[in-house]
Structure 1
Amino acid sequence: MNYCRRCLYPENHPLNIVLDEKGICSGCRVHEEKAIIDWEPRKEKLGRIFDSYRSTSGKSYDCIIPVSGARDSYFIVHTVKNVYGMNPLLVTYNKHYNTDLGIRNLANLRIVFDCDIMTLTVNPETVKKITRATIRKAGSIYWHCLAGQTVYPVQVAVKFKIPLIIWGAHQGIDQVGMFSHLDEVEMTRKYRKEHDLMGIEADDLINEFDNIIEQDVIQFRYPDDKEIERIGVRGIYLNNYMRWDTKAQHEQMLGLYNYETAPQTGTFDRYNDVDCFNYSDVHDYIKYVKHGYGKITDHASREIRFGRISRDEGVELVKEYGITQPRNLPQFLEWIGITENSFHYLIDQHRNKKIWHRNEKWDWERIDGTQLRKETPDSFAIACTDKGLDFRITVPKKKSPDNKYILIGKGYVQSENL
């Protein structure tokens, strides 16, 4: 297995990363643009785009922003509303795996920005049926989250005739360098299907075996192209117009809006995905089984590119945080209603056989030659100008009573004394 000689990504990255003749990946090469692009003209261009969609009456929504109780939601809403003066409608897909902290962060976001928000909550039994099907077909417990998060904003845009959708970072740019920032790529149905949804559209799940009928997948259907063209729906990504650094952005927003952070199972990152029990846990374990690496590789590679840690330090972090067994698997199995043996049997069908093999004890182990190693040539390394990882841990506003998923939570933030 070949790995990037600068960051930690392997050549089998599911978003088709490319290693050049020097062994540097396309993600690292496109990241170099962040240091050489003049971002001020691009911010001005973003302002002109916003102006072209701004309501002349001031009584209508100017745009739609997909949000959650984590990731870069606070930064995106702050930028769009407080910096550029737009009037956004917030939309969120209920992922069902919600943490209490995530529910509070989402409520706090709505309140501090004084925004209207629309939420899509699909029938839990329907979500469970779909998840059982996507585990079997694609080894994914997160298909319904990715499908819902990427389709609900488009459905709302068509229904309420609000053509502009604002996203944060395009994963294909920021992670693997599939495009340049200068390409200004926008949201597409094709990218959503091929990469977000692993090639599976909602209608592909309809079958008798999983007892999924047409009514079950309606909420996950992408609007018809004619509807999208009639409204003129487009989705733009902020990272095409400003230098994207999620860690720095979170730390700026934490000082302004007092939302919560928390430790996670498989990474040192305390800011992203704290709203979900499974993203950096069960979902991450599955990612490791399928591709041989997890979120810790994503996060360490990001920090290497920004020069906050060295590659060798990143390798040590991968060893430290690498998932062997997910901590939150029992509650997921209880929620979906399958046994642990059944879960592992289904997930093992999707193991990458170029990475894993059965040993003499019939246990899965890595094939020699697929392990990540140190020894980066100095000529490929990025100088550490901001050495170390200091992620802020906030004091919880409320102690969660248990580890149960929260389907519906309060729409307001309780006093810290209650």
Structure 2
Amino acid sequence: MRFCTKCVMPDTKPDLHFDEHGVCDACRSQKAKDFDIDWEARKQEFLEVVKKHKKNKYYDCIIGVSGGKDSTFQVLSVLEMGLNPLCVCFEPTIPTEVGRQNLANLNQLGVDLIHIKRNPKIYKSMIKEAIKRVGDCEWPNHLGIFTTPAHIAVNFNIPLLIWGENSELEYGGPAASKDNACLDRKWLEEFGGLLGNRATDMLGVDGISEKDLALYFYPEDEDVQRVGVTGLFLGYYIKWDLRKILSSAQKSGFSVSDRRVETTYENFENLDCYSNHVHDYLKYVKYGFGRASDNACLDVRLGYISREQAVRLVTKYDGIPPMKAINEFLKYTGFTREEFDAIVDSFTNKKIFQRDANGKFIKDIDGSLVRKEEYIVR
């Protein structure tokens, strides 16, 4: 297991590549963003794209929102540019109170907001199937947040969709995904966190029919082409800095937690949904890095902390089971703790974490998995 020599991201991250100096491609992308891109020219390019795709009489674009710091910043950015967005929120799996408050605050910035309240029976069946099948409790949400704004775009004849940062650019991924400013069906299926699972794979689960999955299918190609649906990453046109984005959002009423988020050292990440923290924990058991690693790597790349500080933070906070979120998830799904632990163990990486003579994973008193010596971040 190798760790990037600039940040602390390990090579277990899917599709992450290191150069001959041991530097990951996310760090190399950050260097390009710092020195090689004319961001003012990119902003003007964005405004020209908006003019080209403006077909609706009332709305200039659609923004998929959650109420988090990023979507709050997206709304603020387009409002400052004089645009009138229609915001679309696909309901979180297990909403939090601060998440509800932040979504309401986003609405109060002066935008129309459509809140998609998905069929709870169908959605819960997909949640329970997805965590057992691909080890991701947020799989249906990943699908819904990308497909529902596209459906609204087709049906309201609003061709332009505005997304936030390109995760492949910010966190590392294949070059093809970073060179493209657009989010379309291909990007969703390759890089949208679907883990090889598709909406059609849920047909028949607890009697789920094609009609039940209408929102989860990306619109038909002929409809996309007729309207000219185009999804753009705002992070391609505006330099993405999580702490500046947070500051901007807070000045406009965004609320952070009064304590750190369970899976990291910050108090502003994934505040809208308990299930997100379970998702981050499952990522940790699979690949040996979690939300604390994600945050620390971004902070290092942006110059807010040193690599040495990142190592300490990751060592201290990554991998602690998010018990509040897990308990909320158990209440939501009806899984017993034993059933949940068995699912998690089935996806836990046997190369990274220690096991006893009976093959059972060794855990500390706080429930954290014990890493093998050679897989400890340094």
For 1:9, the equivalent position in structure 2 comes to: 9
- Could you tell me the percent identity over the aligned residues? 34
Contact kept? 2:147, 2:218, Cα under 8 Å: yes
Contact kept? 1:75, 1:249, Cα under 8 Å: yes
The letter of the residue matching 1:21 is: E
The letter of the residue matching 2:113 is: I
The residue correspondences of 1:2-401 to structure 2 (distance < 5 A) are 2-14=2-14, 16-36=15-35, 37-54=37-54, 59-82=57-80, 84-112=81-109, 114-179=110-175, 183-195=179-191, 196-208=193-205, 210-255=206-251, 257-262=252-257, 263-279=260-276, 281-327=277-323, 328-360=325-357, 362-364=360-362, 365-373=370-378
In the TM superposition, residue 184 of structure 1 has moved relative to its aligned partner by: 4.0
Q: Deviations over 1:93-129 (max 9, x none)?
A: 00131111111111111112x2111121112121111
RMSD, aligned α-carbons = 1.8
Contact kept? 1:33, 1:181, Cα under 8 Å: no
Distance in 2 of aligned mates of 1:363 and 1:139: 17
Contact kept? 1:31, 1:177, Cα under 8 Å: no
Distance in 1 of aligned mates of 2:26 and 2:161: 25
Distance in 1 of aligned mates of 2:285 and 2:151: 34
Deviates more, 1:190-199 or 1:338-347: 190-199
Distance in 2 of aligned mates of 1:180 and 1:245: 22
- In structure 2, relative to structure 1, the CA distance for the partners of 1:359 and 1:75 (3 Å cut) is same
In the TM superposition, residue 277 of structure 1 has moved relative to its aligned partner by: 1.7
The letter of the residue matching 2:262 is: T
TM-score normalized with structure 2 length: 0.92
The letter of the residue matching 2:17 is: V
In the TM superposition, residue 62 of structure 1 has moved relative to its aligned partner by: 1.1
Matched length: 365
Q: Deviations over 1:117-175 (max 9, x none)?
A: 11211121211111111011101110111111011111111111110000110001111
Contact kept? 2:93, 2:275, Cα under 8 Å: no
For 1:393, the equivalent position in structure 2 comes to: none
Structure 2 alignment gaps of length 5 or more = 363-369
TM-score normalized with structure 1 length: 0.83
Contact kept? 1:54, 1:86, Cα under 8 Å: no
Contact kept? 2:74, 2:164, Cα under 8 Å: yes
Distance in 2 of aligned mates of 1:71 and 1:326: 21
Distance in 2 of aligned mates of 1:217 and 1:54: 30
For 1:408, the equivalent position in structure 2 comes to: none
- In structure 2, relative to structure 1, the CA distance for the partners of 1:212 and 1:294 (3 Å cut) is same
In the TM superposition, residue 182 of structure 1 has moved relative to its aligned partner by: 8.1
In the TM superposition, residue 91 of structure 1 has moved relative to its aligned partner by: 0.4
For 2:367, the equivalent position in structure 1 comes to: none
Distance in 2 of aligned mates of 1:160 and 1:272: 32
Deviates more, 1:218-227 or 1:161-170: 218-227
Contact kept? 1:71, 1:271, Cα under 8 Å: yes
- In structure 2, relative to structure 1, the CA distance for the partners of 1:271 and 1:291 (3 Å cut) is same
In the TM superposition, residue 79 of structure 1 has moved relative to its aligned partner by: 0.9
Structure 1 alignment gaps of length 5 or more = 374-418
Contact kept? 2:263, 2:321, Cα under 8 Å: no
The letter of the residue matching 1:77 is: V
The letter of the residue matching 1:332 is: F
In the TM superposition, residue 177 of structure 1 has moved relative to its aligned partner by: 4.9
